[in-house]
Chain A
Amino acid sequence: MNTVGMETKNRMHPHKFTLWVAIASIVMMFAGLTSAFIVKSNQANWKPVTLPKVFWVSTAVILLSSLAIQMAIRSFKQRNMSQYRMLITATLVLGVVFVALQWMGFNELWEQRVTFKGAGAGQFLYVIFGLHALHVIGGVVALAVMLLRAFTGNTKTYTSTPVEVAATYWHFVDLLWIYLLVFFLVIGG
């Protein structure tokens, strides 16, 4: 067994590595969707979409949540567990708020008669932002599991890998959101 320990010492933890590959995979999915958007925006009857203001609020919220989870890692490493729990809770709540804000944005758009009828950027917006929100929800579930573990901690874990994996994913969905927002502002507008 020792050989394995020695061998893996200088390598990235397999779970972290798996996450990076998964991120590449998710990137391909959104690359597929956004390039479909570009292809379709050259077709007839294309209607652009103006983003409701609420998406700016959600941007601020998700940026804050990224900050929170980054601080959570630091407090975990300093073994400041109560602060860690608080920060993870904050991240989780901010994540839920983000999804709720996205939902409000969708409703606002729908009321402006951006529906599934006809063709245009609006349809793509619902699909792309919707799928992104699903990825955020996935992250929220993962955080909830971690939080549960942190509160019912009957097993003592000293490795920060799970927190770091969760944080990397969280930063990724944050960056992905920024990309999608810029994409819709520049090309969709």
Chain B
Amino acid sequence: MSEALHVHHGEAITHESHHDEHHGHHQETFISKYVFSMDHKTIGKQFLITGIIWAIIGGLFSVLFRLQLGYPDQSFPILETFFGHWAKGGQIQPEFYYGLVTMHGTVLVFFVLTAGLSGTFANLLIPLQIGARDMASPFLNMLSYWFFFLASIVMLSSIFIHTGPASGGWTMYPPLSALRQAGEGQRLGTDLWLISMALFIVSSLLGGLNYISTILNMRTKGMSMTRMPLTIWAMFFTAVLGVLSFPVLLSGAILLLFDRNLGTSFYLSDIVINGEILPNEGGSAILYQHLFWFLGHPEVYIILLPAMGMVSEILSVNSRKPIFGYMAMLGSLFAICILAFLVWAHHMFVTGLNPFLGSVFVLLTLLIAVPSAIKVFNWLTTLWRGNIRFTPASLFAIGFVSLFISGGLTGIFLGNSTIDIHLHDTMFVVAHFHIVMGVASFFGMFAGVYHWFPKMFGRYLNNTLGYIHFWVTMVGSYLIFWPMHYQGLAGIPRRYLDKKGWSSFNQFGDLDKMITVVSIIVFAVQLMFVFNFFYSIFKGRKVTTTNPWGANTLEWTTPIRPGHGNWEGEIPEVHRWPYDYGKDGREFIPQTEPVGENESKH
């Protein structure tokens, strides 16, 4: 009986797989191919292009508030033309400034560096690199994108309403965010923000579920876990972090919605606003911070890990050397993943956290330096004496390592609760997280786009524009964020739109002007990249070989423009790990090649 059942089960699965294969040969309409597509590659491109649009919006916002910070006295009439009463007399109004800062943070953290980054590359690379025809559930995958799209629409609409977008900061701390009376942005804008985030969380969960289950269940024959490229490992840990931490943010957001709209007191207590005494009592604003940062801290690794994974892969391919310390890379990813859940309160050192508890979190926070240092060491030793090809992708990957080191070192300052008493809420914090998480992840993302563009569109990005893009962005990022460390050490607070009140900060006036000018240049260069991206989709140099980078991983065994189902014949079998570069006198040995008899061990 058990025998019979067994066979039966096998049949059921082959039946399903056949069904999947037939899918590829169906007559596809424009709608099913490009709009409501269930092909993981198309969904990845949808995430990428939506992410690019959001990145332009979020980047533009930062240019606008940098104008205010660099030139607080100057009037820009053009701003009034575009933004009306938000920029009365050509000057950015305080409410608008806070709206811009909030939206810049929300958009870049969630919509660009979460959905745009792991949405793009997890979708594109997971099935291709593990040897699967599609995700475990292509339908959920499609839903994941469309929930993200809905979240985008809601968030975008909040920018165009009369009272303006949410302006309580991207962390949305109550009581500010919980009280309608607190400001214009705390009205409809904040409700739309919360609804949009709820939709976004659903999108990320659907995506994450799929990534995990695909990686664990759909690998091709021979693809054991330790033969997976590090990109896939990074995407796996990213998805685990997301699936376990986003629901907690959702519960925090639901309680906030209740406080805002139904008069509960989860976060509110003893508040007097505009002379009015509110009835709320017994709430705890710190409770929200705990719930928020329980997601918020894993979130920075959700942003960073995919970049780390792609950088590992790209560095190895382009230095024509095996990745140094594959198992150490895995171990450190795992350690980061665990620690990510245990350090959230370091965001709350000065918000009334018990100092003893604080010291525990200091220890756990500084522990992250260990796996991070292991990773940096391994990247550098991978590059060491390599035969490096300086493609735009590998330059961005090297740039990532540079930024990760610089930004990581300042993290050691901020991780100490005592130093944090001085540094919290200053420009030092802004400089730290922008370098280590924002710009570094962007570099990982750019590296990924330059490297896998040929796989996505069958064409190359323009290299010259790529080099200009890299050098201007690299130099520009340091010029923008490095000086902010000095500002922060001197005590300049973040989130202030005008520092004229402190005469001691006047000495930084020219520095602020310089930062503003550089950020405008860097923003312009990003627009050039966007031009390069869209131009190359249609007019770029055509890819003529299936494996343009001489890489070992499975995605380069597919046709140049793979259809739905990825491989035309059978899915290839895997015989070795993905990092056999420069071995036994051969430049690279693809994963599909059986291990020879006299081959040396790696």
| A36-B291 contact, Cβ under 8 Å, with A25-B205, A127-B255 | yes
Establish whether residues A7 and B221, one from each chain, have CB atoms under 8 Å apart when the complex forms: yes
Identify which of B9, B205, B213, B247 contacts A32 (C-beta below 8 A).
B247
9-residue interface stretch from B33-41, B258-266, B317-325, B504-512: B258-266
Establish whether residues B262 and A119, one from each chain, have CB atoms under 8 Å apart when the complex forms: no
| A2-B14 contact, Cβ under 8 Å, with A116-B258, A158-B8 | yes
Establish whether residues B244 and A24, one from each chain, have CB atoms under 8 Å apart when the complex forms: yes
Establish whether residues A39 and B284, one from each chain, have CB atoms under 8 Å apart when the complex forms: yes
| A18-B210 contact, Cβ under 8 Å, with A29-B251, A36-B255, A117-B279 | yes
**Which chain B residues (1-43) contact chain A, with CB distance < 8 Å?**
6, 8-10, 12-14, 17-18, 21
| A44-B220 contact, Cβ under 8 Å, with A3-B570, A127-B254 | no
Interface residue tally for chain A (C-beta within 8 Å):
46
Establish whether residues A119 and B243, one from each chain, have CB atoms under 8 Å apart when the complex forms: no
B571 within 8 A of A: yes
B212 within 8 A of A: yes
Establish whether residues B251 and A33, one from each chain, have CB atoms under 8 Å apart when the complex forms: yes
A189 to B216, CA, bound (A): 43
Establish whether residues A32 and B248, one from each chain, have CB atoms under 8 Å apart when the complex forms: yes
A1 to B265, CA, bound (A): 57
A139 to B213, CA, bound (A): 21
| A118-B282 contact, Cβ under 8 Å, with A18-B213, A29-B250, A36-B291 | yes
A6 to B573, CA, bound (A): 12
Identify which of A9, A25, A44 contacts B281 (C-beta below 8 A).
A44
Establish whether residues B265 and A123, one from each chain, have CB atoms under 8 Å apart when the complex forms: yes
Establish whether residues B282 and A43, one from each chain, have CB atoms under 8 Å apart when the complex forms: yes
Across-interface contacts of B284 in A (CB, < 8 A):
39-40, 43
Establish whether residues A3 and B221, one from each chain, have CB atoms under 8 Å apart when the complex forms: yes
A8 to B130, CA, bound (A): 14
A7 to B10, CA, bound (A): 10
A159 to B210, CA, bound (A): 21
**Which chain A residues (13-41) contact chain B, with CB distance < 8 Å?**
13-15, 17-18, 21-22, 24-26, 28-33, 36, 39-40
B137 within 8 A of A: yes
| A24-B263 contact, Cβ under 8 Å, with A3-B573, A7-B221 | no
Q: Can you add 8 more A-B contacts, CB < 8 Å, to A25-B243, A119-B282? A: A5-B13, A18-B212, A21-B209, A29-B247, A29-B250, A40-B283, A43-B284, A118-B282
Q: B-side interface residues toward A, CB under 8 Å? A: 6, 8-10, 12-14, 17-18, 21, 133, 136-137, 140, 205, 208-210, 212-214, 216-221, 243-248, 250-252, 254-255, 258, 262-266, 269, 279-284, 287, 290-291, 294, 570-571, 573
